Amino acid sequence: MQEFIEDDPLDEEQELFEHYKFTADKGQEFLRIDKFLMDRLANTSRNKIQVAATSGNILVNKKAVKSNYKVKPFDEISIVLPYPPREIELIAEDIPLNIVYEDDDVLVINKQAGLVVHPGYGNYTGTLVNGLIYHFNNLPNGSMNNRPGLVHRLDKNTSGIMVIAKNEYAMTHLANQFFERTTERRYNALVWGDFEEDEGTVTGNVARSLKNRKVMDVFPEGDYGKHAVTHYKVLQRFGYVTLIECKLETGRTHQIRVHMKHIGHNLFNDNEYGGDKILKGTSFTKYKQFINNCFEILPRQALHAKTLGFTHPVTKKWLQFNSDLPEDMTNVLAKWEGYVANRELGES
């Protein structure tokens, strides 16, 4: 019996990979698992299956097995594989990359805001992938694929740390870490409003909005969408806005943005989720001008992927990378610090 786990094509942690599950029949004869899977996965080479096994991406009864494992009756089998390539011819472009770390297997970058990660409708050039194939040869999945090396992504207007796989072994190993949620991902976000508590958790299924398919929505009853959990902690309070840290337990599309909107704390200047207007504070002209100045300095949602931790696919050592907030966010935070200081002086 086969089950294909259908992924939302936008899911950060799942959009790049297929996830299959099988249960061996009661009459199943002992058979090497690579041959077993070859018979059940169309257009998948034995070599790709063997790479998945070597990377720990084939599980039998929730334990990783090698490609020579013999399938037995009632075995529960799961496998993670890259999606088949899309026929999009990529153009190498000299796009600057802020490289934080590099070795033979992985590349860690600090992505700038405004950079689309991979080609898609309306963005066939000028993406991170176009820059990657300019600077690096033979990234896994080939130049005719629109996502070579990618195991996760960030939104266009989100800045911060990303990891890129430089070979197929690293790609499948890292993909499994994201799927199994063993990575560590922490973001900094400036959101509207103040919090009563210093930390908390938002839980609610995330899926495309039933009213606007371009954005996501939260379905707290769990009757639609995919399970999503965001943990947050207050870092700095400014009265009308708050700087928080968000730790992802899952990685759904726009998860932080839609979860924060759901609890009434839209991200500052998030034009897709209603944060690009005054949601807290007075309506006086001077305050409006202050907010508009902030929006001009930070013409995007105030979200930065600050920390990423993962197990190196070859050395098996835990690696963790941190990045400073970009200039646009630090400048807006400085303006808010000044605004709060001046307001307190006026009240004293």
CB count within 10 Å of CB 110 equals: 20
Q: Are 87 and 99 within 8 A, CB to CB? A: no
Instruction: Name the packing angle between helices 285-297 and 327-347 (round to 10°).
Output: 160
| CA distance readout (Å), 109 to 23, 57, 153, 160, 308 | 40, 25, 12, 8, 11
User: What is the dihedral sign for C-alpha 192, 279, 265, 251?
Assistant: negative
Q: Quick one: which of 160, 220, 232, 228 has its CA closest to 193?
A: 232
Catalytic, 270? Answer: no
Pick from 139, 42, 123, 36: nearest CA to 78: 36
Q: Which of 11, 155, 217, 276 is catalytic?
A: 155
Dihedral sign, Cα of residue 9, residue 11, residue 15, residue 18: negative
- Provide the annotated active-site residues: 155
